[in-house]
Amino acid sequence: MTSSIWRPSQVGAPGGEEISIHNFEELAALHAVAKILAQPGELRDQIELALQEMGDRLGMQRGMISLLDRETGEAWLDVAHGVDIQGLDVTYQPGEGITGKVAQTGRPMACANLGKEVHFLDRTGARRFLNRAELSFLCVPIIYDARVVGVLSADKVARQVENLDRELAMLSSVAELLAKAVHNRAVEEENRRLRHLLGRSRTPSPEIIGHSGVMQNLFGMVAQVADSNTTVLINGETGTGKELVARAIHRNSPRLKGPLVQVNCAAIPDTLIESELFGHERGAFTGAIHQRRGRFEEAHGGTIFLDEVGELSAAAQSKLLRVLQEKQFQPLGSSRVVRVDVRIIAATNRNLEQDLASGRFRADLFYRLNVFPLYLPPLRERGSDILLLADHFVLKYTREMGKPLKKISPSVSDILLAYHWPGNVRELENCIERAILLAPGETIEPVHLPPSLPLRVKGVERKEQGRLNAVVEAQERELITNALRETKGNQTRAAKLLGTTKRIIQYRIRKMGIDPRPYRTKTADAPRTGMKEE
């Protein structure tokens, strides 16, 4: 048994009749709410003040307003009085809990004894330590232009509620006053969410191509970190575009007008690393016939990009750590101290956590660099991005070589999608450049690809795949890697997310050669808070 009562359309529904005349206190409260809404100001602030008036004048213990998503019918808690919702992400699916039912049906609902109401979920946890039997709960739709745009809910001390019908009528009157403001607030929030999604999906650089889910996540994280001085560590296989991401972060940062100095740590001999990074004085060593500024000093006011930082020797790691800690250094052979204002972006294709365990990389340096890690997915995990990139390189090289625009044949698309791409985007670009040079006609055929490419595909697949199979496998790979990324590499949770079993996921991961380890160490967008209702 529940103590809920559904009210017919005469209360709070379009075209309904109010069942009773409001008393003086209620009319005064409605007047106060109307006065608040008539003043200029932020919509959210006005709605909060209106709920506060209801608490002060009508004895409302807690009040909440949820907004409706027009596309999905989902309601999300937006404004509350008497409940701390800061940092919470509380949502209701259509028909879920009391709020979800009122949002779905457009009919008010009242509960005389909250302790007996099985539909009440208390997702904010505000009544967790209260005696719910002492509370009554009221919930009405907020209707604007004959459509439910939100839900207004409130609870009161049960002994102060003499007539549920009168309480619902009063709450419905408040909902009518709030309707336009709530509608505008819903539109405002919807626009904000759309802008956020567009910002996440917009590529941070025209050089970076990708529509897959993993790349959209990467674009969002680049947008988050670019507008700061935070140290970034870019992880990814060779050829995934780590340098392009570093450039995009610099170009979208406040340091845009400062220099971007790139250092390939793997290409500098250990004996020269100190001179290269920090400079030297004339005569500091044999052959030092001139004073030289180091790369850190050249990067002052801008960004230094330390590519392949995992290749630094133990001695070089120690010297780099001192600069990161103290923001100053002494050039080789000099007593002067150089202070620098430099943002650090590092990149590696090594698994630095394994290097930590083996003692190859210093733990203190790793934690200095790994403030904001970014993971660049290999090309084989990017699904349909392979063909998108191939088309981009076709356009690029036909223009550079002054050749007529060519198209990729379906059989070449099959090969590109089925290939494992150990060299990633760089290997794909080289393949397309070669094909443009060799193709005499308007179409790139398998014969124009490197000879080993179709052979390797057949060796891996053991039989030639059709276009459909290749596309399906590419999409399956993307689904699995997205699930691993969302679950931080937890294969059991990834299987649940995809609606299958852990055993099947493990089999597909092994068959496709997917490495789940990088997903256990990377940071992702913070997940939605899994709260439970109102």
Query: What's the whole-number mean pLDDT along residues 131-153?
Result: 89
Determine the Cα–Cα distance for residues 340 and 297; give it in Å rounded to an integer.
Answer: 6
Helix (H, G, I), strand (E, B) or coil at 77: strand
The CATH fold assigned to 213-376 is: Rossmann fold (3.40.50)
Smallest Cα–Cα separation from 187: which of 43, 35, 48, 80? 43
Determine the longest span between alpha carbons in the chain, in angstroms: 99
Q: Is the pLDDT of residue 89 over 50?
A: yes
Amino acid present at 225: V
Q: Is the pLDDT of residue 279 over 90?
A: no
Instruction: Let me know: does 251 contact 309? Beta carbons within 8 Å.
Output: no
pTM greater than 0.75 (yes/no): no
How high is the pLDDT of residue 7? 45
Q: Is the pLDDT of residue 344 over 60?
A: yes
Instruction: Let me know: does 347 contact 243? Beta carbons within 8 Å.
Output: yes
How high is the pLDDT of residue 526? 39
Smallest Cα–Cα separation from 81: which of 108, 47, 107? 47
Backbone angles phi, psi at 455, to 5 degrees: -65, -40
Beta bridge partners of 372: 232
Q: How far is CA 69 from CA 34, 151, 310, 384, in A?
A: 26, 12, 47, 30
Report strand pairing: 91-92 vs 75-81: antiparallel
Q: CATH number for the 380-521 domain, one of 2.10.240.10, 1.10.8.60, 3.20.20.70, 3.40.50.970?
A: 1.10.8.60
- Of residues 270 and 309, which shows the higher confidence score? 309
pLDDT tens digits for 30-63? 888 888 888 877 788 888 888 888 888 888 888 8
| Domain limits, CATH 3.30.450.40, in the chain | 4-194
- Of residues 448 and 338, which shows the higher confidence score? 448
| Domain limits, CATH 1.10.8.60, in the chain | 380-521
What confidence tier does 472 reach under pLDDT thresholds 50, 70, 90?
low
Share of the chain above pLDDT 70, in %: 84
Q: Is the pLDDT of residue 289 over 70?
A: no
* CATH code for residues 4-194: 3.30.450.40
Determine the Cα–Cα distance for residues 461 and 145; give it in Å rounded to an integer.
Answer: 58
Instruction: Let me know: does 66 contact 100? Beta carbons within 8 Å.
Output: no
- Of residues 304 and 461, which shows the higher confidence score? 304
What confidence tier does 240 reach under pLDDT thresholds 50, 70, 90?
very high
Share of the chain above pLDDT 90, in %: 24
Q: Is the pLDDT of residue 125 over 60?
A: yes
Amino acid present at 184: N
Q: Is the pLDDT of residue 480 over 70?
A: yes
- Of residues 11 and 282, which shows the higher confidence score? 282
Cα angle value 147/152/153 (rounded, 5°): 140
| Domain limits, CATH 3.40.50.300, in the chain | 213-376
